Amino acid sequence: MTLKPDFDKYPDGLVPTIVVDDKTEQVLMLAYMNAKSYQLSLTDKQTWFWSRSRQELWHKGMTSGNTQDIVSMQIDCDEDTLLVRVNPAGPACHTGHTSCFYRNIELNSAGGK
């Protein structure tokens, strides 16, 4: 049985994809794959995504050189989210940070309990 994401579960056909550094276990980013970017990722063994803002396929690192070589891919129990473990060639975030998750929200800030 070959597992693959159920792109039809989402109206836009985009499956959330969590990217993790295989060596450090650090969550690097959250992006979205459609059927085409998923297939390109499997073929190239590098991450491809669908850019929601630009409405186009996006090969991670194409312009920056910060590519992500895929080590493994896992799918969740509902087959609608991917976890991709990578060896990154540089920072994942367009700001230059290693991870897109570099800012902390204070839990005692206004609006919290």
Q: Please report, in range form, the residues annotated as the binding site for Zn(2+).
A: 77, 93, 100
Give yes or no for a contact between 26 and 98, defined as CB atoms under 8 angstroms apart.
Answer: yes
Annotated binding site: 76-78, 80, 93, 100
- 3-state SS string over the chain? CCCCCCHHHCCCCCEEEEEEECCCCCEEEEEEECHHHHHHHHHHCECEEEECCCCEEEECCCCCCCCEEEEEEEECCCCCCEEEEEEECCCCCCCCCCCCCCCCCCCCCCCCC
Residues tagged in the binding site annotation for Mg(2+): 76, 78, 80
